[in-house]
Amino acid sequence: MRALITGVMGFVGKYLAEHLLSQGIEVWGTSRMESPLLRLKNGNLKIVQNNLDSTDDIHNLLCSIKPNYIFHLAGQSNVKLSWEDKEGTFYANVNKTIFLLDACVKYQQENPRMRILTVGSSEEYGKVESSELPIKETTILRPMSPYGASKAAVSMLIQQYHKAHGLNVIHVRPFNHIGPGQSLGFVVPDFTKQLVQIEKGEKEKVLKVGNLSAMRDFTDVRDIVEGYYELVLYGKLGEIYNICSGDGVSINEILNKLIELSSSNAIVEVCESKIRPIDIPNYIGENSKIKSDTDWIPKYEIIRTLEDSLNEGRSR
């Protein structure tokens, strides 16, 4: 079996590649940059440079790799940045997905069993009433960020491609995922970087934060990628699945846990520039659909994920 992961050099891509290799799957990935073959713990990851800018180029790539599974991870995933670059976010998340889906429609004539997983987000739900919690896949989409709107568009497109062209596609809505190696710009690495600097005496004790009152549903990235693989194998075609823990944690709790795990005695300071135009107060998801259609069970406790993330920050 062969898999192609778009945007493989991102945070989730490398974890997914490791997991697929551990299942005996040959793994290829696309990256914007030219990259040599990457030796991972479980095998080699073959990387091809492709910007996903052209249906023809993607189709040629599919004809040469002949994947059984495509995991479409490439995209602009930063919610705050999507306010600053709305057009770039839509091009990266919507237009490039259209190029990929069109290439898949063409390629599916040669390999009708190929399956595609597109990655959306809980941000597609946007403004959710407290009576709608925990959020089900059937909850109305009212995205409240350009990022959320772009991913909601993808979720609608895949249903059209499935119905119109019989494309074997499944769309996943992961809630917040965290773990070692996540880049700055997301809440846990933003906090751990400062805590490590304070621990090392490289920075004064002030830890700058944004909105601490939001509730989020966190899952370890290592559990998330197992869910992606389960869904590409057993998910129902044309369907949408949440991946989440089902538990809400406030950002303030995350911050306090990280401060306890560190030896920093940090002084917290809310920083205006980190506050977003709109920040959804409550995202807690429902995960019964993925659990009933696949064998997915998340394994990592949040405290272990935070500890691993902090330790990885210390070794950077």
**Where does this chain bind ligand GDD (CB under 6 A)?**
77, 79, 121-123, 174-176, 185-187, 190, 209-212, 214, 216, 251, 274, 276, 279, 283
Please, what's the b/e burial string for 120-142 (b: 16 or more CB within 10 A of its CB; e: otherwise)? Answer: bbbbbbbebeeebbbbebebebe
- The residue assigned the tokens 């597109």 is 118
Between 14 and 46, CB nearer to ligand GDD: 14
Between 94 and 105, CB nearer to ligand GDD: 94
CB of 8 to ligand GDD, least distance (A): 16
CB of 79 to ligand GDD, least distance (A): 4
Cβ proximity of 78 and 88 under 8 Å: no
CB of 128 to ligand GDD, least distance (A): 12
CB of 147 to ligand GDD, least distance (A): 7
CB of 175 to ligand GDD, least distance (A): 5
Cα 176 to the center of its chain, rounded Å = 8
CB of 34 to ligand GDD, least distance (A): 25
- The residue assigned the tokens 């976010």 is 89
Between 79 and 158, CB nearer to ligand GDD: 79
Between 61 and 209, CB nearer to ligand GDD: 209
- Amino acid at position 76, single letter: Q
Between 175 and 229, CB nearer to ligand GDD: 175
Q: Tell me the two tokens of residue 257.
A: 């846990």
Between 210 and 238, CB nearer to ligand GDD: 210
Q: Tell me the two tokens of residue 282.
A: 């409550």
Q: Which of 208, 214, 289 is CA-nearest to residue 252?
A: 214
Residue 299 burial (C-beta neighbours within 10 Å; 0-12, 13-18, 19+): exposed
Between 263 and 273, CB nearer to ligand GDD: 273
How far apart CA 153 and CA 260 sit, in angstroms, is 40
CA quadruple 281, 15, 153, 276: dihedral sign: positive
3-class state of residue 116 by DSSP: strand
CB of 283 to ligand GDD, least distance (A): 6
3-class state of residue 227 by DSSP: helix
